[in-house]
């Protein structure tokens, strides 16, 4: 393998690591980056990203390529950013090509959740599976799909919007940031957990603090996490009814609450799946913690997929 | 291409055609076959199917292979029948292999809805598309998926159970034949249409007769079909959010009501899809009428896929 720089880019911060020829993470650089400005121009985006990577590259030698996971839709493996929910003004940006010219290195870009799927499949809990359905469970909910050992992007680069599968259709269905309602993201994300806990307890804390309360056997907090696991299981079940995949992996901050989430997910899958599929799906916690996306970006840059 | 015998096998009847080297359907044979007996043994199944095909083969020369669509789950393209909802006692039957020995010809078997997808993709409205989501809309609802010009079966041969995607989760969700509730099959199949029409009108007629009433501008009948189209659109939208496929084709008896169903499906897709996917999906009526499954079975036997 070649030595690469791999990055996981979010709306407000960016993490990057050098990944060595042996597949080891050598260092980790974190930085704030403001991609939340809806009026950001294409040139601004390229400039901000390039400045960040320049800062690392000047102290590193023998980097042969850069891989990045980015919150947006990419056309296949071309690195063309079709659209990004964070940057509604930008469409069809040749982001990999422009960054490659700026940085004078091959640059590979892919959707952040798909990067996490690739990382989990190449280095993590999904290693050895031919097909993998990966869920990123954090502030929002995303999905990434590996079919026949290859990342699946969809015809417009928009596949696996698992966070927007509906788990409720009635009039009381919760509103989602996508403009719709009833999406699993509005029921099982960290944001949803904090909201639901506030509704039942009147206390405004974040999902991590709700989990701390659950660990102290606070019934409301446990209920909120169990409900999140149930709804996540519903969404995974709908996906399995279509895709019939044996291995599901889950990464992201909320997997810290695995001991409560996992039994709820499994119970929900058992209820929701059609009889012949029951018991055929293995749900695994990420083996890479926060680094699934970084490892996936590295694998893409190393052309392991 | 080679001359083949292609068959579409249902629970109570079977249709077969000779498909010539030029891809033309030469004749069509229909016969009743009782596969609804839950105690049918593996030997009985093989015997009944073989007897039917012998009857045709004795009058035909130069048939080089047989393709069949069958209501069951098959492991990849091996012809191993993993399970069939109609035949709950049978598991892991080497059906293609046994029929091939009996009939002394290569026999290829695949799930009936996937056969219809292959037919539509090879010869019908999905011709030219790289990826295709096909829906069979009749007594029940099935799905077949073509990815990168190849049939997608799933890891257990159970992919695309689209009829069992949920379109309702509340306590009033309709019961489905699968044992679950809220499945789109309980809202948009021919069976569901007859049931719902009876509920609103007190009149017990089949879906075809409901359609005849809709054509005479009977409001209840129109509502029932519009509602079916709406729910089918909801299920298709969930599938597109995962798979991001541009082309959807629909075959089966209910497509006779296309003029009512189509606008309802499109309207529902427009409501249900996330913003960047809106307007990116083309929904087409089958170009093969009842013969999508036959053409698909022929294509599989001719090894065109």
Q: What is the pLDDT of residues A56-90, one digit of tens each?
A: 999 888 999 999 999 999 999 999 999 988 788 89
pTM: 0.96
Q: How many domains does chain B have?
A: 2
> Is-contact B133 B236, C-beta < 8 A?
yes
CATH code where residue B210 lies = 3.30.420.40
- The answer to whether residues B164 and B188 belong to one domain is yes
Determine whether the interchain pair A244/B162 forms a contact, defined as Cβ–Cβ distance below 8 Å.
Answer: no
Assigned domain for B212 exists? yes
- The answer to whether residues A77 and A221 belong to one domain is no
- The answer to whether residues B86 and B159 belong to one domain is no
Assigned domain for A125 exists? no
Determine whether the interchain pair A167/B170 forms a contact, defined as Cβ–Cβ distance below 8 Å.
Answer: no
- The answer to whether residues A54 and A135 belong to one domain is no
Residues of A with CB under 8 A from a CB of B: 73, 82-83, 130-131, 143, 145, 147, 152-162, 164-170, 178-180, 234, 238-239, 241-246, 272, 274-277, 280
Comparing CB atoms, the residue among B179, B244, B272 nearest residue A154 is: B244
Helix H or strand E segment including A118: helix A112-123
- The answer to whether residues B154 and B180 belong to one domain is yes
Assigned domain for A123 exists? no
pLDDT at position A171: 94
- CA B57 – CA A155 distance, rounded (Å): 43
Distance of CA B304 to the CA centre of its chain: 19
Cα distances (angstroms) measured from residue A265 to each of A82, A249, A270, A272, B281: 33, 12, 9, 10, 31
**Per-residue confidence of chain B (305 residues) as pLDDT tens digits?**
899 999 999 877 899 999 998 888 988 899 988 777 778 899 999 999 999 999 999 988 899 999 999 999 999 999 999 998 878 889 999 999 999 999 999 999 999 999 999 999 999 999 999 999 999 999 999 999 999 999 999 999 999 999 999 999 999 999 999 999 999 999 999 999 999 999 999 999 999 999 999 999 999 999 999 999 999 999 999 999 999 999 999 999 999 999 999 999 999 999 999 999 999 999 999 999 889 999 999 999 998 76
Residues of B within 8 A of A155 (CB-CB) are 130-131, 244-246, 280
Assigned domain for B123 exists? no
Assigned domain for A112 exists? yes
pLDDT at position A121: 97
Q: Give residues with Cβ within 8 angstroms of B270, minimum separation 6.
A: B278, B279
- The answer to whether residues B296 and B279 belong to one domain is no
> Is-contact A124 A292, C-beta < 8 A?
yes
Minimal Cα–Cα distance from B277 to chain A, Å?
A: 8
- The answer to whether residues B113 and B182 belong to one domain is no
- The answer to whether residues A277 and A134 belong to one domain is yes
Q: What angle do CA B158, B179, B76 make, to 5 degrees?
A: 10
Q: Which residues pair with A284 in a beta bridge?
A: A249
- The answer to whether residues A250 and A142 belong to one domain is yes
Assigned domain for B122 exists? no
Q: Name the CA radius of gyration of chain B, rounded.
A: 19
First and final C-alpha spacing in chain B:
12
Assigned domain for A205 exists? yes
Residues of B within 8 A of A242 (CB-CB) are 143, 145, 159-162, 165, 239, 242-243
- CA A21 – CA A4 distance, rounded (Å): 8
- The answer to whether residues A180 and A243 belong to one domain is yes
- CA A190 – CA A232 distance, rounded (Å): 12
Assigned domain for B194 exists? yes
Comparing CB atoms, the residue among A158, A166, A280 nearest residue B277 is: A158
pLDDT in tens, B85-132: 878 889 999 999 999 999 999 999 999 999 999 999 999 999 999 999
- The answer to whether residues A22 and A67 belong to one domain is yes
Q: Give residues with Cβ within 8 angstroms of A43, minimum separation 6.
A: none
- CA A173 – CA A180 distance, rounded (Å): 10
Q: Tell me the backbone φ, ψ of residue A49, rounded to 5 degrees.
A: -65, -45
- The answer to whether residues A102 and A149 belong to one domain is no
Domain that holds residue B27: 4-117+291-301
Determine whether the interchain pair B169/A164 forms a contact, defined as Cβ–Cβ distance below 8 Å.
Answer: no
């Amino acid at each position: 393998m070649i030595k690469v720089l791999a990055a996981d880019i979010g709306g407000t911060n960016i993490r990057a690591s050098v990944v060595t020829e042996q597949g080891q993470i050598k260092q980790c650089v974190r930085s704030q980056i403001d991609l939340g400005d809806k009026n950001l121009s294409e040139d601004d985006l390229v400039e901000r990203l390039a400045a960040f990577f320049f800062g690392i590259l000047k102290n590193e030698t023998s980097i042969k390529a850069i891989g990045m996971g980015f919150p947006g839709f990419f056309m296949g493996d071309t690195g063309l950013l079709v659209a990004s929910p964070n940057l509604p003004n930008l469409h069809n940006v040749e982001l990999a090509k422009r960054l490659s010219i700026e940085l004078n290195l091959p640059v590979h870009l892919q959707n952040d959740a798909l990067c996490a799927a690739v990382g989990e499949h190449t280095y993590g809990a999904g290693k050895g599976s031919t097909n993998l359905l990966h869920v990123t469970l954090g502030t929002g909910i995303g999905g990434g799909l590996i079919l026949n050992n290859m990342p699946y992007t969809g015809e417009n680069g928009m596949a696996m919007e698992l966070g927007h599968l509906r788990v409720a259709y009635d009039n009381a269905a919760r509103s989602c940031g996508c403009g719709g309602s009833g999406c699993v993201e509005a029921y099982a994300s960290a944001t949803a957990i904090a909201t639901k806990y506030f509704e039942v307890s009147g206390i405004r804390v974040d999902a991590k603090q709700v989990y701390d309360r659950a660990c102290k056997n606070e019934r409301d907090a446990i209920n909120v996490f169990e409900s999140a696991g149930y709804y996540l299981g519903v969404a995974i079940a709908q996906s399995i009814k279509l895709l019939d995949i044996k291995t599901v992996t889950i990464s992201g901050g909320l997997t810290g609450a695995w001991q409560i989430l996992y039994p709820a997910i499994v119970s929900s899958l058992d209820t929701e799946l059609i009889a012949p599929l029951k018991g055929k799906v293995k749900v695994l916690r990420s083996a890479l913690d926060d680094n699934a996306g970084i490892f996936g970006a590295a694998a893409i840059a190393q052309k392991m997929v």
